[in-house]
Chain A
Amino acid sequence: MTITSLSELEALKARIDQNVSDKVKILMSLGTCGLAAGGSKVFDAINESIAGQGLEDCYEAVPVGCMGLCYCEPTIELRDNSGKSIIYGNVSAEQIPAILKAGLSGAPAGTTEVERTWYCPEDEANTHKALQARIALRNTGRINPELIEDYIQRGGYLALGKALSSMKPAEVSQLVLDANLRGRGGAGFPTGRKWQFAAAQPKGKKYMICNADEGDPGAFMDRAVLEGDPHAVLEAMAIGGYAIGSDTGIIYIRAEYPLAITRLRIAIDQARAMGFLGKNIFNSGFDFDIELKYGAGAFVCGEETALIHSVEGKRGEPTVKPPFPAVQGLWKHPTIVNNVETYANVAAIIRKGAAWFKTVGTAGSPGTKVFALAGKVNHVGLVEVPMGTTLRDIIYGLGGGISKDRNFKAVQTGGPSGGCITKKDLDTPIDFETLKAIGSMMGSGGMIVMDEDDCMVNIARFFLEFTCDESCGKCTPCRIGNHRLYEMLTDICHGKGTPETLAELRNLAQVIKDTALCGLGQTSPNPVLSTLSSFADEYEAHVKEKRCPAGVCERLVRFTINEKCVGCGICARNCPATAITGATKKRHVIDQDKCIKCGVCFDKCKFKAIDKQ
């Protein structure tokens, strides 16, 4: 069936609405994460249980995308048409019969009920003061991503229909600009402005690219959208294509996302079959189609010029801008590169308008941001919060606080390009500007929480190791400079650093930031610079006292024997380096020159007489 007008689409949506059953839906989180956690076994159990207990009239099992509750996968949500719902975490197949029996009346004993912390600003009020507002993720975890009807039922393709039948291309760009939707991929450039640049180029071939080459360590929001709500991206790309005068969309997706690729393929076929992609969409004369290109897993290909080269079959490395891709991009044609999450916001903006979008978030950064919360928090997962939410709310509210009751030390936002934020900034309402002001950046939304057991020098070294691996090697500062930074940090962690090393570390980091060719290189020293400024004392301890305060840097750990020693000799007998000596019943000593820091003495001592520093 081909949809040729907005009214036909509205009629179709009405029919789907009418046919929605009264059954309670059992939504099963079956993104890559849910599947990895054994979700398909649980899903089978749900279906078997429904059939076995003859509950076909009561329940309908729906496979959905990621709900964002990574810490308690497998997760399911029981939900009726009125919106009443119960969410369960850590669900096992054995629990299913009891859960089905209880229905929406309450969680049975032995199950883990999870609090719902979000609302969708587009269709509900925030009655329970939820911290999360879902715009980009509004359908993710709610609909079957392989059924276009589910997407249409949630208002899908109405925005495209509206744009094509009642808006001029320039009005579409203007609306996105008015909403001040800013690029969710990193730098926060206004999407509408970008579209206007491309639209202003002479008529001819133009490209709409979706950057789905998500590569920040620990970031997976794009995958969640693509696996959970692929049509949202297709619809937005078509809208953008209409705005700039492009008939070709390309989704550059990393090959490591097979499930996302499968679901995108299904979605593209469905959209073509219904006429949302292809020729003469909504009978408006507008043609647009989308193809997939696979990335081979290079972080730098998230940089738009590098991405374009990769699509062209060339080595994925950036080139100097200008020319900007919006003027001269893929195959030298005007090209827009937007990230998945950016696209995921577009349809809602077209449906509800700029003013509505601006009611969420801050004045300078309207809307929401999805964060991948990871590291030392209790509730690792995906959260979408209004811009302006504080880190405290995210880490302690949504993240459930620091794991193992340790103390918070820092949080790294923006992945390897970002910086470490400390306790003093926990209450800063975060958006593009404030994050920059406190020495970090939004980046794609990775958020890695660190506690007192983390060594900040080692953390900086970890991120730098990542950038060294992922640098394309084109420009000198990134190719050689980052490697030298890494070597200096290694020296510091190994106790070979000097005060001069620290001074040179700072100088070189600053020059790399100042001279590298692309965003990757320019931001790569950020973890070093931010830890240098916030945790100077830790660096000093490594360099001057040859001591790692967090006890992480192995070569700096010092084992000593304190006054509790009773001279039992068990440490000396077990020391593989024969570094411990002492007379029986006398306090023993460790020869620091011989000690290999293996920690056997520390483990063997029954009297807490070994100190580890």
Chain B
Amino acid sequence: MTMVNLKINDMPVSVPEGSTILEAAQALGIKIPTLCHCKMDCLGVEHKAGSCRICVVELANRPTLAPSCCTPVAEGMVVKTNSQRAISARRTVLGLLLSNHPKDCLVCAMNQQCDLQRLAHEFDMHEVKYPGAQTEFPIDVSSGAIRRDMNKCVMCRRCETACNVVQTVGVLSGINRGFEATVGPEELKPLIETSCTFCGQCVVSCPVGALTEISYKDDVWREINDPSKHVVVQTAPSVRVALGEEFGLPAGSVTTGKMVAALRRLGFAKVFDTDFSADLTIMEEGTELINRIKTGKNLPLLTSCCPGWVNFFEHQFPDLLHMPSTAKSPQQMFGSIAKSYYAEKVGVAPKDMVVVSIMPCLAKKYEAARPEFEHNGVRDVDYVLSTRELASMIKEAGVMFNALKDEEYDNPLGESTGAAVIFGASGGVLEAALRTANDILSGKDIKEIDFVDIRGLEGIKEATVKVGGMDLRVAVCSGLGNARKLLTKIRKGEADYHAIEIMACPGGCINGGGQPYTGSNISILEKRKNAVYQVDKVMPIRKSHQNPSIAKLYKDYLGEPGSQLAHKLLHTHYFAR
């Protein structure tokens, strides 16, 4: 490795060729403030637009100040990071950003989590210097999932990198000129009219409050306090390994019991688990996989749990609509079963039952609102809250989360297996399906159930696995950019797989758009992932088909997987968009 020698603030430093001034300064323990720059490790890219100009430094022999985040070091370079000229320029630039930013920090969703606010604090800004016009863009809440308030945008363009480079969705781009320049869909259309998948990676990338989730907390509070309503809640697999972070617990803390207890304190009538319906998904999807393998038709089977991914293939691959499993996602299966089987059981009319989901995801908000998931005016799922919104409700209710004693889920929709909890990490859905398929095809209770080749944060994982004596070619893919690569191969006939799991968010639901903000710190993702598999490991039952409540559901109500009633309640169809 060629090393480059330079001096920063009179201190010599040697860094590998190709390093930036920012990195060289870090090597010396010198912090240069940044705003637009972001090592988006959780998305596998580095964003360095060089557009905010907060990180400018002074270089000998350069007439203008240099953006340290994207200026490569050169031999003999002489850098001043803290000269009067550099500091004063940074203050002026920050002052400009503040001059066109709403001062509603107290009521902003990103209050105390905002990079601009942090900078203003670090720079000790006491006044906003430039009075004058402020941009006035309408706030877009058309999607029901993502709120876009471009008046707060600082044009860092991280959302564009997430949308275009990582997810290859291509909805967001720079638009307009000069002072009116902003980021948005073409012609600043409402998001709902675009091919947005609502994966929410733009939201987690946004350093300010320009992109946030649309919150349904108030609606849920209202429903909980309506005595005529029976309000049940379901919790997605990955929420339990991330929620603790919002309460200062270390990343990877498993807080299932505390979460259940907290939900009861909030006033939900029953606390159920999406893991239950994840097991149910495996029964339906696994059966479908076995049938497709037996008939050799419509292969590969693509998983359909992830609503961001469903939106993506409906928009981008409408010619491949026969490939995804017709099984509804666990969230929607839960809603169907709650408002049929469970409602009958407890004698509550479906219209008086409210199903709330706690999801790591923003696309789930959109999914729950899809027209096909409503029957006779009753929605399968009524409200979807993100992990962050749940944390906020718990705080608002004054529940001391960390002091709560663990509690158990209610039954019957609260029982689940290890196969269900791993839905929360990339590879888990397929692993769960393989565990069940292996047993069913072989007719045995197979003990080797850890498919480690398809675990991990890599974007595309491929493996050939022995299932029921057959060699199955499978792939696991997370991140829509990776999905596009794989799907393009399939479309061209260059790949032959039996089954592929696809999740919209890189790494799976542990990195969902509704999860606590990670600051793109990938070690947090690693810990969440490890926690998911840790939970699986200690579960007494680790195969979906062995879940007793699921067996009872089929025996008492659905008949068998793929039955007519199962199809009516648990399967869906897709639309070319």
Q: Is the CB of A517 within 8 A of B53?
A: yes
CB of A473 within 8 A of chain B? yes
Whether, in the assembled complex, A487 has its beta carbon less than 8 Å from a beta carbon of chain B, the answer is yes
Contacts known (A319-B50, A511-B92, A514-B85); A476 close to B174, Cβ less than 8 A: no
Q: Among A250-258, A477-485, A555-563, which stretch is in contact with chain B?
A: A477-485
Q: Is the CB of B52 within 8 A of A473?
A: no
Tell yes or no: A474 within 8 A of B by CB. Answer: yes
Question: Are B64 and A317 closer than 8 Å at their CB atoms?
Answer: no
Q: Given contacts A472-B177, A474-B49, A484-B132, is CB(A322)–CB(B89) below 8 Å? A: no
The segment from A280-288, A352-360, A463-471 found at the interface with B is A463-471
- Let me know if B178 is at the binding interface, CB within 8 A: yes
8 contacts between A and B (CB under 8 A): A298-B177, A315-B175, A320-B50, A473-B174, A474-B181, A477-B53, A483-B132, A515-B53
Q: Of B51, B56, B88, B180, which is in contact with the most chain A CB atoms at under 10 Å from its CB?
A: B51
Q: Known: A514-B85, A517-B50. Contact between A480 and B92, CB under 8 A?
A: no
Q: Are A320 and B71 in contact (CB under 8 A)?
A: yes
- The answer to whether the Cβ of A522 comes within 8 Å of any Cβ in the partner chain is yes
Contacts of A476 in B (CB 8 A): 51-54, 93, 96-97, 154-155
Q: Which residue, of B70, B72, B93, B180, has the highest number of chain A Cβ atoms within 10 A?
A: B93
Per-residue B-contact encoding for A313-328, CB less than 8 Å = 1, 0 else: 0010101101000000
Task: Give the B-binding residues of A (Cβ under 8 A).
Answer: 298, 315, 317, 319-320, 322, 468-477, 479-484, 487, 504, 507-508, 511, 513-517, 522
How many chain B residues touch A (CB < 8 A): the figure is: 38
**Are A484 and B174 neighbours in the complex by a CB distance under 8 Å?**
no
Chain A hits for B575, CB < 8 A: none
Contacts of B155 in A (CB 8 A): 473-474, 476, 479
Contact of B96 among A317, A470, A471, A481 (CB under 8 A): A481
CB neighbours (8 Å) of A317 from chain B are: 174
Beta-carbon contact of B177 and A484 below 8 Å: no
Q: Which of A474, A504, A507, A522 contacts B64 (CB 8 A)?
A: A522
A482–B178 CB distance below 8 A: yes
Interface status of B557 (Cβ within 8 A of chain A)? no
Q: Is B552 an interface residue (CB 8 A)?
A: no
| Chain B positions 45-82 with a Cβ under 8 Å from a chain A Cβ | 49-54, 56, 64-65, 67, 70-72
Q: Which residues of B contact A472 (CB under 8 A)?
A: 174, 177-178, 181
* Chain A interface, DSSP helix/strand/loop, else mixed: helix
Interchain nearest-CB distance for A184 vs B (Å): 21
B168 close to A (CB within 8 Å): no
Determine the chain A residues whose CB is within 8 A of the CB of B49 once the complex forms. Answer: 474
Name the residue of chain A whose CB is nearest to the CB of B181.
A473
Partner of B51, one of A322, A475, A511: A475
Which of B85, B96, B154, B155 has most chain A Cβ within 10 Å?
Answer: B96
Q: Compute how far the CA of A470 lies from the CA of B180 in the bound complex, rounded to whole angstroms.
A: 11
Contact with A along B76-105 (1 / 0, CB 8 A): 000000000100110011001101100000
Q: Contacts A474-B51, A476-B93; is A513 near B177 (CB within 8 Å)?
A: no
Question: A479 and B179: CB pair below 8 A?
Answer: yes
Interface centre among B49, B133, B181 (most CB of A within 10 A): B181
The 8 Å CB contact of B174, one of A469, A474, A481, is A474
- Distance in angstroms from A26 CB to nearest chain B CB is 46
For B48, the closest partner residue in chain A by CB is: A320
- CB neighbours (8 Å) of A470 from chain B are 177-178
A473: shortest Cβ distance to chain B, in Å? Answer: 2
Find out whether the CB atom of B178 lies under 8 angstroms from the CB atom of A468: yes
B406-427 contacts to A, CB under 8 A, are none
Q: Which chain A residues lie closer than 8 Å to B100 at the CB level?
A: 480
Which residues does B use to contact A, with CB under 8 Å?
Answer: 49-54, 56, 64-65, 67, 70-72, 85, 88-89, 92-93, 96-97, 99-100, 129-130, 132-133, 154-155, 173-182
How far is B70's CA from A43's CA once the two chains are assembled, in angstroms?
57
- Distance in angstroms from A500 CB to nearest chain B CB is 10
Contact at A514–B178, with CB atoms within 8 Å? no
Contacts of B154 on A, CB cut-off 8 Å? Answer: 476
Give complex CA distance A28, B352 in Å: 87
Please pick, from A473, A481, A514, the residue contacting B180 in the complex, using a CB distance under 8 A: A473
CA distance A483 to B177 in the complex (A): 12
Least Cβ–Cβ distance between A320 and chain B, in angstroms? 4
Query: Are A469 and B177 also in contact (CB < 8 A) when A481-B96, A511-B92, A513-B64 are?
Result: yes
Given the contacts A319-B50, A515-B93, A483 and B178 also touching, CB distance less than 8 Å: yes
CA distance A476 to B179 in the complex (A): 9
Interface contact B178-A469, CB-CB below 8 Å? yes
User: Given A298, A484, A516, which contacts B53 in the complex, CB threshold below 8 Å?
Assistant: A516
- The residues of B that contact A482 with a CB separation of less than 8 Å are 178-179
Residue numbers in A under 8 Å from B92 (CB-CB): 481, 507-508, 511, 515
Docked CA distance A468–B133 (Å): 13
Docked CA distance A9–B542 (Å): 84
Query: Do A515 and B56 touch across chains, with their CB atoms under 8 A apart?
Result: yes
| Given known A319-B50, A511-B89, contact A483–B133 (CB-CB < 8 A) | yes
A475 touches B53 (CB 8 A): yes
Q: Which chain A residue shows the least CB distance to B132?
A: A487
Please give, as numbers and ranges, the residues of chain B lying within 8 Å of A513 by CB-CB distance: 64
| Chain A neighbourhood of B130, CB < 8 A | 480, 484, 487, 508
> Are A471 and B51 interface neighbours, CB within 8 A?
no
**Max count, chain A CB within 10 A of own CB: residue among B52, B92, B182:** B92
Which of B67, B133, B177, B182 sits near A320, CB closer than 8 Å?
A: B67
Q: Which residues from chain A contact B178 at a C-beta distance below 8 Å?
A: 468-473, 479, 482-483
Task: Report whether B177 and A511 are in contact in the complex, using a CB–CB cutoff of 8 Å.
Answer: no
Shortest C-beta distance, B358 to chain A (Å), equals 38
Give the chain A neighbours of B181 by CB distance below 8 A. 471-474, 479
Q: Shortest 3 CB-CB distances between A and B: which pairs?
A: A473-B181, A320-B50, A483-B179
Q: Told that A473-B178, A513-B64 touch, could you supply 8 new A-B pairs with CB distance under 8 A?
A: A320-B67, A475-B52, A475-B53, A477-B93, A507-B92, A515-B53, A515-B65, A515-B92
Minimum distance in angstroms from B409 CB to a CB of chain A: 50
Q: Shortest distance in angstroms between B259's beta carbon and chain A's nearest beta carbon?
A: 42
Asked if A480 contacts B89 (CB within 8 A), the reply is: no
Closest Cβ neighbor of A471 among chain B residues: B178
Q: Which residues of A contact B173 (CB under 8 A)?
A: 315
Interface centre among B65, B133, B178 (most CB of A within 10 A): B178
Q: Which residue of A lies closest to B176 (CB)?
A: A473
User: From B97, which residue of chain A is reached at the shortest CB distance?
Assistant: A476
